[in-house]
Each structure stands twice: as C-alpha cells, then as structure tokens.
Amino acid sequence: MNLFDLSLFSGALRRLARARMADWVVAALLLSALVWLMAPQQIPVSVYKLSLVALAAVCGWWIDRSLFPYARPEFYLEPPPEMGEARAETAFTDVHVLSFAEPVGGLLPEHAALLGRAAMLRRAIIVAATMLAVGLGA
C-alpha cells in the first residue's frame, strides 16, 4: 500500500464533494486552524461556543415539537413515490408537496402546502430564536 496513492482518498473526496455545505465545513476548519495559529488558547472557547449553539439548535427543535405536536411540517409533506424505501437518507430538498389530486386530512392540497410552509417557517423562527438567546446569553 503506497501512502502517496491518491486513489485511496478519491472516494472520501467524492463523498465530501457531494455533502451539503461541504465548502462551509472546509472554511470553518481553515478558520479554526487560523485561530489555532494566532491564539491557541481560544480553541477551547470556540469549541465551547459551538457546542452551546449546536445544543441550542436541538433544544429549539424539541421546543417546536413539544409546543406544536399536531402541526409538524412533515405532516403536510410527503416524499415522491419514486423514492421508495430511501426515506431515511433523503435530503430535505427531495421532499415534495402533496399532490393536488385529493384532500389530505380534510385539507385541500393547496391549504396543506400553505400550512406546511407556515410550519417550516415557524420551526425556523423558534430554532433561530433559541440559538440567538443562547448565543447572546453565554
């Protein structure tokens, strides 16, 4: 096994290129390396702040789920039929609005789409507010 064989890393590089927001991950790693070079004592502070913000995002999501158990965004949306059993590894952009052919849950499809958008916006606002509150308070 040759350490300089780039074919070993090509699979990992292809997976990284397909990952969502991979460019932002690379930028964050480069900026973290720059912080480490300039002020290595600040790395624990950065990790602490990042963990607080990540925890706040999860808490905001759970707050939304707890406050609105019957108005979750996924209730109004369904995956397209061609996806089959691949639901677990589906990106959010692959989810489509319900078809316009039949009412769902007593709602007309255009109302379901509107409520789905409103539920997604509500969840985003709650998560953002939670992250902002933790970020400003810590």
Q: Tell me the C-alpha distance between 60 and 131, whole Å.
A: 7
Each residue's pLDDT tens digit, 20-73: 777 888 888 999 999 999 999 999 998 899 899 999 999 999 999 999 988 888
Tell me what pLDDT residue 112 has.
77
Tell me what pLDDT residue 83 has.
53
Each residue's pLDDT tens digit, 71-130: 888 777 765 555 555 555 545 555 444 444 445 555 666 777 788 889 999 999 999 999
* Of residues 71, 28, 35, 22, the one with CA closest to residue 53: 28
Residues 6+ apart with CB under 8 A from 60: 126, 127, 128, 129, 130, 131
Residue 79 burial by CB count (10 A; 0-12/13-18/19+): exposed, middle or buried?
Answer: middle
Q: pLDDT confidence of 3, banded at 50, 70, 90? A: low
Tell me what pLDDT residue 101 has.
47
Tell me what pLDDT residue 98 has.
47
